Each structure stands twice: as structure tokens, then as C-alpha cells.
């Protein structure tokens, strides 16, 4: 890691050094991990506002990490990225609790005899995708039509978590009924 600067300004592309002041936008869409816009001056921040069509926005001053902090962050990210493919492949390094239980060989009549027996065959995969489960534009349009309010991007994650919990309950109900298909009545 022989970089001489931390990042480049997203507007003018000038270098932002280590332990140097920089500015970020207060709007959440500019601060997502994939976007992560940084600006070397307030003027550079100001020139991005009309492009991104912010209604109300302001610049927040921050300080970039030192070279040692940055190298530590990058090493941690690389180690985490290297560990992710191994765990998603279902390797032997995953803890036994994270691996799904084998399917039961007992007949369905035995599975519905007791509530505990019915829940035993259902194991929810720990590696289920953590994607957003709703269409953001449709949700935002609905909220705007009903209340003339804006919707924060953080709402999408919270709503997706709620949907996952509802789906998990429906999966359990379908298993208790001895079905392999989740139906509307399971919700």
C-alpha cells in the first residue's frame, strides 16, 4: 500500500491526503457505502447539489484517517472479503449452528403430532440474502400519494427486516401444516 493520499474529491478529482479535512453531504444517498461521496472543499460539495437534486442539504466537515488507520481498515476489509466466499460455500470452517439441519425422514403425520416435532425440521438458513425486499420507488410513491411526505432510505432496511420476520413465521406455519409451499394463509 504505497498510496500517497486517502481518496480523490468526487467533483474536482484532487487528492485528499491522510489526516486532512474533507467534507461530506448530509443526505443519506450520498453517504451509502457504495456511493460515499467526499469533497475537498465546500465549493466542490456545493457543485454536486444541483446534480443530485437535493432539496435541503449541507456539508459536514470531517477528517480523513491517518495512513496507519487507513491501512488497518483496508486489511480488515480484505480479510472479511476473503472469509465471505468460504462461509457462503458451506465449508467445514462454518460453526455447526450455522449449517442447516438435514431434512427429516419421518412421515408427515409424526411431524404434526406435537408442536415441537413440527418445528424441528424447519431450519432457516443463516446465509439468507440481506437485500432490500421492497421496490423503493413504489413505496416512496405510495407514501407521497397518501401523505405528501418524503421517505428516508433507512426505511427500506427496517421494512425489509420486518418482512423477513413475517416470512420466517409463515415458513414455520407452513412446516407445521406439513406443506412445502408457503400460502397466503400462513401470513
Q: 60 with 107, same domain?
A: no
27 in a structural domain: yes
Given a cut of 50, whether residue 60 has pLDDT beyond it is yes
74 in a structural domain: no
Sign (positive/negative) of CA torsion 121, 122, 126, 129? positive
104 in a structural domain: yes
Total number of domains constituting the chain:
2
pLDDT at res. 147? 93
Q: Is 172 exposed, middle or buried (0-12, 13-18, 19+ CB in 10 A)?
A: middle
Give the highest mean pLDDT range of 38-42, 79-83, 130-134, 157-161. 38-42
80 in a structural domain: no
Q: 107 with 167, same domain?
A: yes
- 28: its cell numbers: 443519506
pLDDT at res. 124? 61
pLDDT at res. 23? 94
Q: Residue 121 in contact with residue 175, Cβ under 8 Å?
A: yes
pLDDT 10s digits, 161-176? 898 889 889 999 999 9
pLDDT at res. 149? 92
Which residue is associated with the grid cell 427429516?
104
Q: 121 with 55, same domain?
A: no
pLDDT at res. 98? 44
Q: 162 with 105, same domain?
A: yes
- At which of 40, 64, 88 does a domain end? 64
Q: From CA 59, how far away is CA 72, in angstroms rounded?
A: 27
More confident residue, 36 or 115: 36
pLDDT at res. 83? 81
Q: 55 with 106, same domain?
A: no
pLDDT at res. 114? 42
72 in a structural domain: no
71 in a structural domain: no
Domain range enclosing 118: 100-186
Q: 45 with 113, same domain?
A: no
32 in a structural domain: yes
pLDDT at res. 116? 46
User: Is-above-0.75 flag for pTM?
Assistant: no
More confident residue, 76 or 96: 76
- At which of 64, 83, 110 does a domain end? 64
Q: In whole angstroms, how far apart are CA 169 and each of 56, 70, 129, 152? A: 40, 42, 17, 27
pLDDT 10s digits, 37-48? 999 999 998 888
Q: 33 with 111, same domain?
A: no
pLDDT 10s digits, 98-128? 444 444 444 444 444 444 444 445 556 666 6
Strand pairing category for 21-25 and 15-16:
unpaired
Q: 104 with 162, same domain?
A: yes
Amino acid at each position: 500500500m504505497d498510496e500517497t493520499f486517502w481518496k480523490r474529491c468526487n467533483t474536482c478529482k484532487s487528492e485528499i491526503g491522510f489526516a486532512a479535512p474533507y467534507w461530506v453531504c448530509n443526505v443519506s444517498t450520498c453517504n451509502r457505502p457504495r456511493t460515499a461521496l467526499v469533497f475537498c472543499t465546500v465549493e466542490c460539495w456545493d457543485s454536486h447539489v444541483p446534480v443530485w437534486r437535493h432539496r435541503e442539504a449541507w456539508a459536514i466537515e470531517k477528517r480523513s484517517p491517518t495512513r496507519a488507520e487507513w491501512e488497518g481498515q483496508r486489511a480488515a476489509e480484505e480479510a472479511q472479503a476473503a472469509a465471505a466466499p468460504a462461509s457462503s460455500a458451506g465449508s467445514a470452517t462454518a460453526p455447526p449452528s450455522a449449517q442447516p439441519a438435514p431434512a427429516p425422514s419421518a412421515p408427515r403425520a409424526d411431524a404434526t403430532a406435537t408442536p415441537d416435532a413440527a418445528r424441528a425440521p424447519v431450519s432457516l438458513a443463516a446465509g439468507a440474502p440481506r437485500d432490500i425486499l421492497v421496490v423503493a420507488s413504489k413505496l416512496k410513491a405510495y407514501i407521497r400519494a397518501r401523505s405528501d411526505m418524503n421517505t428516508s432510505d433507512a426505511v427500506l432496511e427496517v421494512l425489509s427486516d420486518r418482512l423477513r420476520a413475517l416470512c420466517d413465521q409463515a415458513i414455520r406455519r407452513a412446516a407445521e401444516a406439513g406443506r412445502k409451499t408457503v400460502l397466503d394463509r400462513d401470513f
